[in-house]
Structure 1
């Protein structure tokens, strides 16, 4: 099974690299044929003769292949929505690009004809947009326009690479194609900017627009099935609201200790203002990282390999990137979010307040050790083949689970630090609510921003960044829910394996990391010795509503 999974991982990568245009129908059809073929291969594997590890891999691979096929169907439907803006010229250009991939002879005049006809089509689209014949009256149309811009940008990049392949090596090609290629690149740039400006409501100079398209209930249910989560979207929202109520109670206790009585938002304002001076944030990050590592090692909570502890680097996040990621990022390295001299006075203060010392404390160990950095270190060394089944419930859930553990320990004693950790816990609750409600069509992006400001106490700029990041199309509908829900799954699994099963805490944590990435219900079966049926469906109720 491991070999089959490794082959799928590499084959999929090679197919995508060869058919390197995401808008390509050839790419979609080739992937569909491949996944259907692998499902056929899987059906002849004698499941009952596999050991528990093999059965686990069988269930994971079967679910992965089905999910990939569902994703391709969704992609085909989404491409159809782009036709008014990019067809037929986009498909014609993709076909031209793919002739190079297949080493099909391409005469210079033939290529010039294709580019010239495409140029006429692009001019026609620009004229229709200018005349108001192509508009984005609905949010769905606006998101389709946003995706069309991505197609236009990708075509420019691939056409430049394609032209460079032939240019100078084939003199006749260069003679025919140089000018039509140059003109078409300029026209594609013009169309992309026009779509950004007039249909999306954004531009390269002003990219603050938040664009998103609700995926609907059916898409969320498909994601829940793929992640082996036995709850409905409505139940997940109830879990988030219940956890939020607990967080608010804890916030009030800490607020009282700080002298703000029940006004926890005033206490949070106090905590936000505990930021370090400009230029000092990287030093704070290293101090906080060392503090967390020392605590985890002192209490022998998880194995920390010396190389993992030693070898991580720090980078600074650009102001442009902070519009999407207003807080730290991490994993193999730490990317520090903090203001630069180019930001306005208001932007500087919001960034500093949003990344104050107490608010950064849990962010650092979430991103480094025992969070993501330790995960990546172990993934590369144990069961790396299971990265094909990567899921935010395992990846983000693990890092946030440690926030649960350290909050409940003597690691967090000061009320300021508890407020800093509770802020993030409230944030994860809010992520479940606003992301699911958005995809169900029950909240707009602006309502999501207002929700984060009101319920969590976000700075408005950081709330905008969170929402912009969530709905830009790079994340699945359940990604933002994976933090809290994954942590709750790990907490429930820990209770079964450690509190009730007799496994030591360190053994539990080490086994989780060494088993590799997978939905946590499947991991649970491995850790507690529960058998899986060939067509296993989600059934674990890890949280009492």
Structure 2
């Protein structure tokens, strides 16, 4: 899967070295174009998030809420009927983005409820950092007293945790640990700003700040280990934050999905049953009867020797690019194929990413010399040559590498709205296309390799949504991945850690299969109507940007759009 930031928060500054920006011509009446409006919103948010940088600050929440509200009001003053189809899509994208930000801001604020017993000192730290942000004069003796109060309050709550007098759920402890870490960093920056410039500040505040920083440094690991069950080596309890059904529905509205969470779970279960049927067929071909798990065990043993994985991945990557080129399925710019690089993952990274990662480059998971023997064998089995064959082109060409390459060169302003239903959906869409063609996954072993991934994506939908609905726990997710998909326990644990560690949006794990089915359905619809060739269709999708696939459909088929447009596409029977 591609490297990416979470969609939980708006992006910070994006430098010109990272984004290829093509400035549109001003409108004939001198008004702001939709593309320029989106670029401005992105730049404004970068500045606001840089200035209002303390996440739990009430001032930050008030300012961002005013910004989103003002932008929404201003957007609806645009004459929608006079816009062309591309601009209408941009209007809906920006509308959904701003509404989602408002909802996430409310949820973020609500999520701080119940954390006060663990962070009673937070208001003092926020107040000091707000004053530093505004470069207010500091009365050194007063600041020293405030720093001493922080030390006293942290010491008291630390002792309460040690004595089991303060309890918290693992989820709240996990959230609190992130806030404590952030506040400690902000407090250090606050002290560094005034220290040595003001002799009286140092005289009063140096010792109290060191004491506060020290006790915060002792308190943080206590919350992480004793309350949240985390460990420094990353092998502790897996903790996440279920968001609930209402928040899931809000996220699905922003992603332009005309389905409920329960309907997506039903979709995943139906797809999983199809996968089991196909697995059983292949298992019989290999002589294992209906016991497809034995057939998968046979495939897992077909890994390359230590040291040969990079060459295998390179060979598979070239095979995928050559296949789409030779069969005239999509345009592959030579530079996209020439300039990606390969890196090997560290053991630490493999704890949360047990397989490939891709996009601008490809990162390969394979055992390292210092891994324990059992873990080495599990990682080798989980990255065997047939699992890898279905993953290499997913990560590179025609998958993530090709899409991200095109995103930077076509309608780059839409990168603000990048959605995994497009990014991950596009990469998995090619797995469906290659399967349907019947001339890529030919051997039984290769078909098992790609079916493993498809089963994994079905499980991701079911388990991630049920987790956010409060119906499964992290350990249950690991057990189901092992028993129902055929994961090694180490790779299953890495998968679940990645799902729940807060770096991915709540619907991210549902996006692979759902996005792929959307694009496959649209492909069938377009080819049946004779609107364009398959290559023309795929090329056009790549120029739309990584936006919700229902809006891609609106661009490809010129469907009717209104300013109050809501999701309506039922792409799955």
Shorter-chain TM-score range: over 0.9
Structural mapping, 1:125-524, within 5 Å: 125-136=157-168, 141-205=169-233, 207-409=235-437, 410-524=439-553
Asked if the contact 2:96/2:254 (under 8 Å) is kept, the reply is yes
Cα distance in 1, alignment partners of residues 513 and 210 from structure 2: 50
Q: d(CA) in 2 for partners of 1:378 and 1:234? A: 34
Asked whether the equivalents of residues 80 and 562 of structure 2 are also in contact (C-alpha less than 8 Å), the reply is no
**1:104 and 2:136 are equivalent in the alignment:** yes
C-alpha change, 1:206 and 1:62, in structure 2 (3 Å) is: closer
The SS at the match of 1:80 is: coil
CA distance in 2, matches of 1:317, 1:95: 41
How many Å separate the matches in 1 of 2:360 and 2:154?
42
**Alpha-carbon distance in 1 for matches of 2:402, 2:139:** 53
Partner of 2:64 in structure 1? Answer: 31
2:100 counterpart residue number: 67
Alpha-carbon distance between aligned partners in 1 of 2:467 and 2:426, rounded to the nearest angstrom: 25
Gaps of 5+ in 2: 1-33
Q: Does 1:91 align with 2:119?
A: no
1:423-479 per-position Cα deviation (integer Å, ceiling 9, x unaligned): 000000111111111111221212111111111111111111111211222222211
Is residue 114 of structure 1 aligned with residue 146 of structure 2? yes
Q: Hey, what's the Cα distance between the residues in 2 that align with 1:292 and 1:6?
A: 35
Alignment TM-score, normalising by the size of structure 2 = 0.92
Distance (Å, rounded) in 1 between the aligned partners of 2:231 and 2:479: 24
Shift of 1:206: 5.5
Taking the aligned partners of 2:328 and 2:283, their CA distance within structure 1 comes to 32
| CA deviation after TM superposition for structure 1 residue 205, in Å | 4.3
The question of 1:531 aligning with 2:560 is answered yes
Question: Structure 1 segments of 4 or more deviating over 4 A?
Answer: none
Cα distance in 2, alignment partners of residues 168 and 313 from structure 1: 45
Q: Distance in 2 between matches of 1:400 and 1:497?
A: 19
CA distance in 2, matches of 1:107, 1:319: 49
Q: Alignment partner of 2:427: what SS?
A: helix
- Cα deviation code 1:165-207 (max 9, x no counterpart): 3333333323332222222111111111111121111232454
Q: Report if aligned partners of 2:128, 2:190 keep a CA contact under 8 Å in 1.
A: no
- Determine the C-alpha separation between the residues in 1 that align with 2:416 and 2:539: 20
User: Does the C-alpha gap of structure 1 residues 99 and 301 become closer, same or farther in structure 2, counting only changes over 3 Å?
Assistant: same
Distance 1:142 1:354 in 2: 30
In 2, Cα distance between equivalents of 1:183 and 1:317? 38
- 1:15 CA drift (Å): 0.8
User: Structure 1 regions of 5+ residues with no counterpart?
Assistant: none
Q: Which shifted more, 481-490 or 494-503?
A: 494-503
Q: CA deviation at 1:339?
A: 1.3
User: Per residue, is there more helix in 1 or in 2?
Assistant: 1
Which of 49, 52, 56 aligns to 1:16? It is 49
Q: Distance in 2 between matches of 1:60 and 1:26?
A: 27
Secondary structure at the residue paired with 1:408? helix
Scaled by the length of structure 1, what TM-score is found?
0.96
